[in-house]
Amino acid sequence: TQLLEQSPQFLSIQEGENLTVYCNSSSVFSSLQWYRQEPGEGPVLLVTVVTGGEVKKLKRLTFQFGDARKDSSLHITAAQPGDTGLYLCAGVGTGTASKLTFGTGTRLQVTL
């Protein structure tokens, strides 16, 4: 069983603060995807990281894939109210079946 644990589960911060969300597993993944989900909608992809140690930046968001391809992190700099939402990591299994397992989710609220 490939389990992905995200921490923290909930995060309430003020505008301008920085935050980091962690996604950890004991399993190795071929790639790791990060999604954001709004209420009533399906998740939408933010980024995919593939190589161990890879760092990707998307404006104020920085994503990192662990060297062993078992964990990842999402760092947001100077959070804004528009960043509010549910953040989900998802790992693609290394087998040919490409099982896609989602993390437990981090609900972020950014207030003025």
The residue (of 26 and 77) whose beta carbon lies closer to another protein is 26
Task: Name, in order, each residue with C-beta under 8 angstroms of 109's C-beta and a sequence gap of 6 or more.
Answer: 10, 11, 12, 13, 84
Tokens coding 26: 């004991």
**Minimum distance of another protein from residue 78's CB (angstroms):** 26
The residue (of 30 and 77) whose beta carbon lies closer to another protein is 30
**Minimum distance of another protein from residue 15's CB (angstroms):** 26
The residue (of 84 and 101) whose beta carbon lies closer to another protein is 101
- In this structure, the number of other CB atoms found within 10 A of the CB of residue 111 comes to 11
**Minimum distance of another protein from residue 106's CB (angstroms):** 9
Sequential DSSP letters for 61-112: EEEEE-TTSSEEEEEESS--GGG-EEEEEEEE-SSTT--EEE---EEEEEE-
**Minimum distance of another protein from residue 43's CB (angstroms):** 6
Tell me which residues touch another protein (CB under 8 A): 1, 6, 30-31, 33, 40-45, 48, 50, 86, 88, 90, 92, 96-105
